[in-house]
Amino acid sequence: MLTIKTSAHVPGNRQRRNFHSCAVSTGAPLVRVGGLRLLQEWLRLFDAESRRLWLETRWRSHLGRVRFAQVRSRP
């Protein structure tokens, strides 16, 4: 989480809503954020693994087509 301690941490030193000069954790409560972050990480990993499997399948089918074309083109 982002912790703002002084106005120097804010771009341009402009006034921001809910800005406090003391060290304050901004955003949602950490208990809820931790669960959401964990869920998002699981979804990211699931998406990455699904994409990897899809790419592997597509690559194998491509290699099969290339090899078949090579065999057909031989005299």
Quick check: pTM over 0.85?
no
Number of domains forming the structure of the chain: 1
One-letter-per-residue 3-state SS of 1-33: CCEECCHHHCHHHCCCCCCCCCCEECCCCHHHH
User: Which pair of tokens denotes residue 35?
Assistant: 């669960």
Q: Cα(45)–Cα(51) distance, rounded to whole angstroms? A: 10
* pLDDT for the residue 56: 96
Give residues with Cβ within 8 angstroms of 25, minimum separation 6: 1, 2, 3
Domain of 68, in residue numbers? 3-73
Q: Each residue's pLDDT tens digit in the chain (75 positions)?
A: 556 666 665 555 455 555 555 555 556 566 677 788 888 999 999 999 999 999 999 999 999 999 988 888 877
